């Protein structure tokens, strides 16, 4: 299993354990409150009893309730221990991704190092929590700055590539230009998808863009990923049947609200009472 896949799995495990802890804590809190009330009532009843046998039975009931109270409290602690354990495992998985990335052994003068510096200048970088890939924000920044980024990378590749190969600098320029065109074609496809209730002419235009994009994709020898397959074989049909898949159906605002809620939950997770 890839390290970045393990991060995604462990993140889900942590989220599930937190959800389970919170749900159980609410239920157990109600049960603990009821047990404490029963203990107090039993104590008051014990004070009223005069028969020795009845007093002994009442005391046994109180002891049993106290034991149950201890068990419920331990359940709460065990739930927190599971969360802490999964949080530690997630941190370990993320650290492993960073270690593997650092172990690539890129030299300061390497092409890869220069490419990372170029992307970092426009705030594009791989996220550990995202499996070591670019997140949506980074992808959009790359689309917005494609020409500038590709021009800089082309210069770096030409200057630092191995000169003993048979390919000329002109060949490098051609290949890099093809990658720049590929990103541009993707940007055009995504822009076309933002149209609300597109006409049949716009849908046919989208289909032509998708075909052109995927032809260049294959010409460059890039493997067809799941998302590339969705673009190639499904996006046009869905655009036609759903009267557009972007614009009014975009989920960016929902995703942002989800991220804001998750950050708020993380910040307030350990607060017992908001009045504190």
Mean pLDDT by 10 residues, the chain (276 residues): 64 82 87 90 86 86 90 88 85 73 62 87 75 78 92 89 74 92 94 90 95 94 90 92 74 71 78 62
The model's pTM is: 0.53
Residue 183 contacts residue 142 (beta carbons within 8 Å):
yes
Alpha helices in 1-102 (DSSP H): 3-48, 52-102
Q: Which residues pair with 133 in a beta bridge?
A: 127
pLDDT of residue 48: 85
pLDDT of residue 9: 78
Q: Report the sign of the C-alpha dihedral through residues 118, 123, 129, 135, in that order.
A: negative
pLDDT of residue 1: 47
d(CA 207, CA 201): 10
Residue 203 contacts residue 231 (beta carbons within 8 Å):
no
pLDDT of residue 92: 81
> CB atoms < 10 A from the CB of 150, how many?
19
State the number of CA atoms in the 13 A half-sphere of 133 facing the CB: 11
CA 23 to chain centre: 23
- Cα separation of the two ends of the chain: 44
Taken in order of first residue, the domains within the chain and their CATH numbers are: 3-102 (1.10.287), 111-262 (no CATH)
pLDDT of residue 172: 86
pLDDT of residue 206: 94
d(CA 200, CA 197): 10
């Amino acid at each position: 299993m890839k390290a970045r896949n393990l991060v995604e799995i462990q993140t889900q495990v942590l989220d599930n354990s937190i959800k389970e802890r919170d749900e159980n804590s609410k239920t157990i809190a109600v049960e603990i409150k009821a047990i404490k009330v029963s203990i107090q009532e039993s104590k008051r009843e014990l004070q009223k009893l005069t028969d020795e046998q009845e007093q002994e039975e009442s005391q046994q009931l109180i002891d049993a309730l106290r034991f149950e109270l201890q068990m419920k409290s331990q359940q709460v602690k065990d739930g927190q221990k599971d969360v802490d354990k999964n949080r530690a495992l997630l941190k370990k998985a993320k650290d492993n991704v960073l270690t593997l990335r650092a172990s690539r052994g890129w030299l300061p003068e390497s092409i890869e190092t220069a490419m990372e510096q170029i992307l970092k200048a426009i705030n594009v970088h791989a996220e550990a929590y995202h499996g070591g890939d670019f997140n949506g924000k980074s992808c959009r920044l790359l689309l917005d700055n494609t020409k500038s980024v590709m021009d800089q990378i082309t210069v770096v590749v030409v200057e630092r590539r191995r000169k003993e190969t048979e390919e000329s600098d002109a060949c490098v320029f051609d290949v890099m230009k093809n990658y720049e065109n590929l990103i541009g074609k993707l940007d055009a496809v995504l822009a076309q998808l933002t149209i609300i209730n597109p006409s049949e002419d716009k849908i046919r235009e989208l289909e032509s863009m998708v075909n052109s994009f995927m032809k260049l994709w294959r010409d460059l020898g890039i493997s067809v990923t799941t998302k590339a397959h969705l673009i190639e074989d499904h996006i046009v049909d869905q655009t036609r049947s759903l009267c557009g898949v972007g614009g009014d159906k975009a989920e960016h605002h929902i995703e942002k609200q989800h991220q804001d809620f998750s950050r708020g939950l993380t910040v307030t997770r350990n607060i017992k009472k908001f009045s504190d």
